[in-house]
């Protein structure tokens, strides 16, 4: 009996720790490289969404942007539709929150 209880407790602990690990993995930021198909600035200018076509999967991904540097680049047309972007974002509450949103560059 004692052995069975111990086994159940051990299994439960392993399952919990496994779930905790999965939780950490899902919190890792996601990076994609893709071309902007649409930029939409909020009327107050304090946020924007950009739709990227992921080079790898071909899927359209919507990114929420709130950092001033990138918003200024949208406003000044320094980043425009058609630009290739490398973005890093966190998935939270069903949205993709940008941590970094930069044009790709190099030779």
Partner 1 sequence: MRTGIFMAAVMASMLLVTSAQAAAEPGAAKLLKSTADHSKFKELKQVFNSGPEVTKACLSCHTEAAKQIQKTEHWNWEYKSPEGQLLGKRHVINNFCTSITSNEADCAACHIGYGFKEDKAFFATETNVDCLVCHDTTGKYKKPIGFDGNPVTKNTEFPPGSGKIIKAVDLQSIAQHVGKSSRTTCGACHFYGGGGDGVKHGDLDSSLEAPEKALDVHMDADGNNFVCDTCHDTQGHQVPGSRYAPTAQDKGEAHVRGKHYNTSPTTCQACHGQAPHKKIAKLNDHTDKVACQTCHIPKFARGGVPTKMSWDWSTSGKRGPDGKPLVKKNADEYEVYNGKKGDFVLAENVVPQYIWFNGKVKYTLRGDKIEASNQPVHINSFEGSASDGKSLIWPVKVFHGKQAYDPVNKTLVVTHLAGEDDTAYWENLNWKKAVAAGMASVNAPFSGKVDFIETDSTWPITHMVAPAKDALHCQDCHAANGRLEKVPGIYIPGRVSDHNRLLDTAGWAIAALTLLGVLGHGLGRIVLSKRKH
Relative to beta strand 48-54, strand 30-41 is: antiparallel
* Out of 11, 17, 31, 62, the residue judged to bind partner 1 by CB under 8 A: 31
* Out of 10, 11, 42, 78, the residue judged to bind partner 1 by CB under 8 A: 78
Q: Other CB atoms closer than 10 Å to residue 30's CB: what's the count?
A: 14
24: CB partners within 8 A, 6+ apart:
none
Minimum separation from the CB atom of position 103 to partner 1 (A): 9
The closest of 28, 79, 37 to 61, measured between CA atoms, is 37
Minimum separation from the CB atom of position 55 to partner 1 (A): 8
* Residue numbers at the binding site for partner 1 (CB under 8 A): 31-33, 55-56, 67-69, 73, 76-78, 86, 88, 99-100, 102, 105-107
């Amino acid at each position: 009996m004692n052995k069975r209880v111990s086994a159940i407790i051990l299994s439960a602990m392993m399952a919990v720790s496994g779930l905790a690990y999965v939780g950490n993995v899902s919190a890792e930021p996601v990076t994609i490289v893709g071309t902007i198909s649409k930029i939409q600035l909020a009327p107050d200018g304090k946020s924007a969404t950009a739709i990227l076509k992921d080079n790898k999967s071909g899927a359209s991904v919507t990114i929420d942007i709130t950092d001033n540097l990138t918003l200024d680049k949208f406003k000044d047309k320094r980043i425009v539709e058609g630009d290739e972007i490398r973005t890093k974002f966190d998935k939270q509450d069903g949205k993709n929150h940008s941590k970094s949103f930069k044009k790709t560059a190099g030779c």
